[in-house]
């Protein structure tokens, strides 16, 4: 048996360096965790659908020329084509489903997982600030979800846009905007749910209540309440003519309220505020919170 | 006496309406200090406060003369081995210890070297490349110790490090802890098993119901317990004659005859031992074969104090 | 002086009949869940619709002389009760996730399953106990408020006309509430038995329910209705069955028997999973 090495220069690593170390430690665990199955479902589903559509179109078994019966946010009927189908898939699969759900599942788990596994003590007894731990984990979340989700979007784009004579070249700028939009969505939802994960004891249920209860309900309430959702601002950044949720459109119709979509600038400011607020409040909470781990 | 490595001053800790620690003050000095007490005494709470994982509700906890809560820089000098049996099970022991020591600012190569040395120090180098999930309980305890010592801390805080170990592993770890203590490190180690602590150190902090009952040397603590009689067992050839001879001893509480032995309870052990020496030397009351005091071990001290 | 025998004595009291242990398990679970404040908040929120509809029924019954078009919306109908279930879907999800996700997973995590099954409790009784507790809460947010609304309608209107004309509503509400609760409960318990983490189970369940719905909707929308694969979606199957049970025109063109088959298959698979996973000792080969 030999004596352990002693650190020669005990200088507290910079915030950035510390965060990078935590990021390196967390990334692999995040990618190869139990959630990989869920991630595969989220990412593989749209690609599988795109492949099926492509196959059906190639075999001439599916006619997509009739136009799909949906209205955009300005109540205009939109004719479907390849880019239209892509827009529909970006809305239906990614923006309305994958991004909020990945945000809930991963964001709320960033700290909660370590607590549930009782391993947070090992991170919090190292010479780095708790904020750095949080930042490293948040980066790992962004990279792991982004690395898996964004290529899936690109695959769907190339499989679907060229259907019905759509031009990949012409639609490419919208792909870039979509990718940026999804990345922003992941970042903002992630920050928000990280805050919920550090604050609440049952963060998953709270997160689900937010995306399945709060966001859909206030979307049909006239006034300013909808500004306290993420989806409201994301919709303001959407490049496509996005179809409306049937329930939302129906209720707004009954209430004779036309839906308001915020401007791009207002959306960016709103999302920025949620992002910065989520991150800084999470840091504030985690620095002050005692994590009592029982045997 | 050396300056205190850990100074706990009038600390109380509440969990909601449950009190974990109740106005305790204590000091830890270089060497091995045993934190002893039954389950629920508040040992783990105290160690978590010292390791900066909990914030005192009242009072202060200082380590190396710095406040420990919200002071991550201290963890260059502190190593903590928590009680819970939890790991990143998918990693190998070496990967895990390397990853953790990297958080101390070690470069990749430095971290690997330090992790190897730490694994070697807990005699786990052979299993370093096995997944932690495949480790036995004893190995898991040792890899936890490895992550606590890997960065060469001056203070080691070990919460029940021997829990669940087999006797061989237990002996190894006791040897390790004693070695760290004698090499100049401060080691604060908790256990609810008396003979474990006794085999590591004679310096103890005795806790029960969230309070420190006693601190210091086991023998000194025993000496302070005046209100409890001292029990002495004497094996000899004629217990009855011996008993008759000691009936007039000042401070005698009881005499109990056993086969070939006499057990005496006295409130004045010093006077008793002086007289016993004289009598044994003279041989007047028979042949004294063995004198032992069941009260000198930690079990007795503990039982007296928690009664 | 009486001399007492302090040695061990066997229990000589009465014992419950074999087969009733599930009630104890269910009762323990229910008591445990009711102690959680967050859940009580969810439960309270889930009754929000009941109170809103009760007010609507009261207004339509007592201000009918006003004859405004708004009263038409407030008046109860078969559609009202169908919509009631539709809007309760989100609470069914919350309750299933909150109550059900840890039911077996937590027992597996803490090795309590072995302890349960070392008592005179059969595996079926264990599952029945857990299922009973989950069904209790699910019916508390579906069946109980729906039947309560029906009773309130009679009380407010002071007439049995509506219920007399729609007598089938009582069995329809009961049947649909049980179909929805049984499907949700079996699926969740099966997932819970596959894991040792309640949070992971909750994620997979919520992901499965939501993803299947999104997949169904996107496929239908991009194919202009040609790919209306109702069987794919957890919710679409239930919606289709609800329409049939409430004697309303089915919302999807797919035959409703397909949905019966899909729901039956899912429950069957869940039962098989439970049979496979709920064991005292897991043999790893």
Q: What is the pLDDT of residues B19-53, one digit of tens each?
A: 899 999 999 999 999 998 888 889 999 999 999 99
pLDDT of residue A41: 76
**What pLDDT digit, counting tens, does each position of A51-74 carry?**
888 887 777 765 554 444 445 545
Q: Looking at per-residue confidence, does A212 or B158 come out higher?
A: B158
| B18-28 and B6-15 strand pairing | antiparallel
Inform me whether the pLDDT recorded for C121 exceeds 90.
Answer: no
CA distance C202 to chain A (A): 8
CB B251 within 8 A of CB B285: no
Which chains sit next to A, with 3 or more Cβ pairs under 8 A? Answer: B, C
- Is the CB of A1 less than 8 angstroms away from the CB of B120? yes
CA distance A205 to chain C (A): 7
Inform me whether the pLDDT recorded for A78 exceeds 90.
Answer: no
User: Given pLDDT bands bounded at 50, 70 and 90, which one contains residue A75?
Assistant: low
CA distance B130 to chain A (A): 17
CB C18 within 8 A of CB C120: yes
Lowest mean pLDDT among A100-114, A146-160, C3-17: C3-17
Q: Looking at per-residue confidence, does A153 or B245 come out higher?
A: A153
Q: Do chains A and B touch (3 or more CB pairs under 8 A)?
A: yes
Considering CB atoms only, which of C203, C217, C219 is closest to A105?
C203
C204 vs A contacts (CB less than 8 Å): 37-38
Nearest alpha-carbon partner for A151 in A53, A50, A238: A50
Inform me whether the pLDDT recorded for C283 exceeds 70.
Answer: no
Lowest mean pLDDT among B46-60, B202-216, B237-251, C95-109: B237-251
What percentage of residues in chain C have a pLDDT greater than 70? 94
Parts of chain B belonging to CATH 3.40.50.300: 6-218
Distance from C-alpha of B256 to C-alpha of B290, rounded to nearest angstrom: 16
Q: Looking at per-residue confidence, does A55 or A145 come out higher?
A: A145
- CATH 3.30.70 is the classification of domain B225-306: yes
B83 vs A contacts (CB less than 8 Å): 295
pLDDT of residue A9: 45
C203 vs A contacts (CB less than 8 Å): 35, 38, 105, 204
Structural domain boundaries in chain A: 15-287
pLDDT of residue A245: 52
Inform me whether the pLDDT recorded for A256 exceeds 60.
Answer: no
Distance from C-alpha of B75 to C-alpha of A122, rounded to nearest angstrom: 11
pLDDT of residue C61: 82
User: Given pLDDT bands bounded at 50, 70 and 90, which one contains residue A6?
Assistant: very low
Distance from C-alpha of A194 to C-alpha of A111, rounded to nearest angstrom: 8
pLDDT of residue A121: 93
**What pLDDT digit, counting tens, does each position of A187-199 carry?**
999 999 999 999 8
CATH number assigned to the domain with residue range B6-218, chosen from the 4 options 3.30.70.20, 3.40.50.300, 3.20.20.140, 3.90.1150.10: 3.40.50.300
Cα-to-chain-centroid distance, residue A261: 20
The CB-based long-range contact list for A174-181 (8 Å cut-off, 24+ gap) reads A174/A83, A174/A86, A174/A87, A174/A239, A174/A240, A175/A86, A177/A237, A177/A239, A178/A90, A178/A94, A178/A153, A178/A239, A178/A240, A179/A150, A179/A153, A179/A154, A181/A95, A181/A234, A181/A237, A181/A238, A181/A239
Lowest mean pLDDT among A133-137, C48-52, C225-229, C236-240: C225-229
Kindly state the average pLDDT of the residues A182-209: 92
Q: Do chains B and C touch (3 or more CB pairs under 8 A)?
A: no
A130 vs B contacts (CB less than 8 Å): 72
Considering CB atoms only, which of B102, B121, B152 is closest to A21?
B102
Inform me whether the pLDDT recorded for A7 exceeds 50.
Answer: no
Q: Which residues pair with B265 in a beta bridge?
A: B231, B254
Here the tokens at position B294 are 């069941």
Considering CB atoms only, which of C38, C224, C227 is closest to A66?
C224
Report yes or no: B70 at the A interface, CB cutoff 8 Å: yes
What percentage of residues in chain A have a pLDDT greater than 90? 34
Report yes or no: B185 at the A interface, CB cutoff 8 Å: no
What percentage of residues in chain C have a pLDDT greater than 90? 60
pLDDT of residue C206: 92
Inform me whether the pLDDT recorded for C262 exceeds 60.
Answer: yes
Considering CB atoms only, which of A12, A129, A295 is closest to B84?
A295
Lowest mean pLDDT among A6-20, B132-146, C137-151: A6-20
Q: E strands of C67-220, at which residues?
A: none
Structural domain boundaries in chain C: 21-62+69-277
């Amino acid at each position: 048996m030999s004596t352990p090495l002693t650190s020669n220069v005990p200088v507290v690593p910079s915030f950035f360096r510390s965060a990078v170390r935590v990021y390196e430690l967390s990334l692999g665990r995040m990618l190869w965790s139990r959630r990989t199955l869920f991630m595969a479902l989220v990412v593989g589903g749209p690609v599988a659908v795109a492949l099926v559509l492509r196959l059906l179109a190639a075999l001439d078994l599916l006619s997509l020329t009739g136009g799909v019966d949906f209205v955009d946010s300005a109540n205009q009927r939109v004719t479907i084509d390849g880019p239209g189908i892509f827009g529909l898939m970006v809305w239906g699969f990614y923006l309305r489903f994958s991004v909020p759900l990945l945000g809930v599942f991963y964001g709320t788990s960033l700290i909660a997982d370590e607590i549930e596994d009782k391993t947070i003590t090992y991170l919090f007894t190292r010479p780095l600030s708790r904020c750095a731990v949080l930042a490293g984990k948040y980066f790992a979340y962004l990279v792991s979800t982004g690395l898996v989700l964004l290529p899936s979007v690109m695959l769907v784009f190339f499989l679907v846009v060229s259907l019905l004579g759509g031009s990949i070249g012409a639609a490419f700028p919208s792909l870039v905007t979509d990718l940026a939009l999804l990345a922003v969505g992941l970042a903002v939802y992630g920050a928000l749910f990280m805050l919920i994960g550090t604050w609440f004891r049952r963060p998953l249920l709270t997160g689900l209540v937010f995306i399945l209860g709060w966001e859909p309900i206030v979307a049909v309430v006239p006034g300013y309440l909808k500004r306290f959702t993420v989806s409201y601002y994301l919709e303001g950044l959407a490049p496509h003519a996005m179809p409306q949720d049937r329930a939302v459109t129906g209720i707004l119709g009954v209430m004779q309220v036309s839906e308001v979509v915020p401007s791009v600038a207002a959306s960016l400011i709103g999302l920025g505020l949620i992002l910065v607020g989520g991150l800084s409040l999470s840091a504030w909470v985690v620095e002050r919170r005692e994590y009592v781990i029982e045997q | 006496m050396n300056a205190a490595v850990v100074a706990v001053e009038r600390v109380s800790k509440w969990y909601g309406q449950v009190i974990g620690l109740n106005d305790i003050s204590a000091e830890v000095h270089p060497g091995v200090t045993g934190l002893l007490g039954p389950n629920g005494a508040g040992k783990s709470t105290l160690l978590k406060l010292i390791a900066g994982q909990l914030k005192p509700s009242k009072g202060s906890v200082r380590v190396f003369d710095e406040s420990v809560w919200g002071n991550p820089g201290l963890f260059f000098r502190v190593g903590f081995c928590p009680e819970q049996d939890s790991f990143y099970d998918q990693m190998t022991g070496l990967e895990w210890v390397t990853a953790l020591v990297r958080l101390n600012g070690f470069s990749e190569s430095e971290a690997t070297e330090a992790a190897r040395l730490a694994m070697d120090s807990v005699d786990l180098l052979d299993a370093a490349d096995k997944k932690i999930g495949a480790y036995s309980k004893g190995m898991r305890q040792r890899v936890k110790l490895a992550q606590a010592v890997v960065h060469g801390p001056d203070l080691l805080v070990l919460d029940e490090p021997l829990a669940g170990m087999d006797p061989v592993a237990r002996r190894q770890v006791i040897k390790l802890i004693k070695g760290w203590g004698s090499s100049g490190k401060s080691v604060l180690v908790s256990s609810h098993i008396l003979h474990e602590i006794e085999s590591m150190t004679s310096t103890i902090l005795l806790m029960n119901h969230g309070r420190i009952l006693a601190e210091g040397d086991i023998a000194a603590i025993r000496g302070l317990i005046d209100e409890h009689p001292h029990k002495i067992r004497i094996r000899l050839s004629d217990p009855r004659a011996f008993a008759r001879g000691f009936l007039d001893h000042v401070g005698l509480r009881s005499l109990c005859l056993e086969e070939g032995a006499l057990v005496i309870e006295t409130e004045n052990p010093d006077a008793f031992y002086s007289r016993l020496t004289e009598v044994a030397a003279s041989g007047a009351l028979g042949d004294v074969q063995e004198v032992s005091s069941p009260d000198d071990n930690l079990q007795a001290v503990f039982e007296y104090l928690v009664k | 002086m009486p001399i007492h025998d302090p040695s061990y004595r066997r229990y000589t009291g009465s014992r419950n009949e074999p087969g009733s242990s599930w009630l104890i398990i269910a009762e323990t679970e229910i008591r445990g869940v009711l102690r959680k404040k967050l859940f009580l908040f969810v439960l309270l929120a889930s009754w929000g619709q009941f109170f809103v509809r009760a007010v609507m029924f009261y207004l339509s019954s007592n201000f009918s002389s006003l004859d405004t078009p708004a009263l038409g919306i407030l008046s109860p109908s078969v559609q009202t009760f169908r919509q009631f279930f539709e809007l309760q879907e989100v609470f069914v999800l919350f309750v299933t996730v909150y109550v059900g996700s840890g039911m077996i997973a937590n027992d597996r995590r803490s090795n309590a399953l072995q302890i349960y099954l070392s008592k005179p409790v059969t595996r079926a009784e264990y599952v029945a106990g857990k299922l009973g507790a989950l069904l209790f809460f699910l019916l508390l947010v579906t069946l109980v408020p729906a039947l309560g609304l029906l009773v309130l309608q009679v009380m407010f209107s002071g007439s049995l006309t509506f219920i007399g004309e729609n007598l089938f509503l009582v069995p329809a509400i009961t049947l649909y509430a049980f179909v929805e609760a049984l499907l949700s409960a079996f699926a969740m318990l099966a997932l819970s038995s596959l894991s040792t983490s309640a949070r992971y189970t909750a994620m997979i369940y919520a992901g499965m329910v939501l993803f299947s719905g999104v997949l169904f909707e996107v496929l239908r929308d991009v194919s202009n209705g040609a790919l209306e694969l109702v069987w794919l979606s957890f919710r679409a199957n239930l919606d289709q069955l609800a329409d049939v049970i409430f004697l309303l025109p089915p919302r999807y063109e797919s035959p409703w028997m397909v949905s019966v088959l899909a729901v039956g298959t899912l429950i069957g698979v869940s039962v098989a999973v439970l049979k496979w996973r709920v064991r005292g000792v897991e043999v790893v080969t």
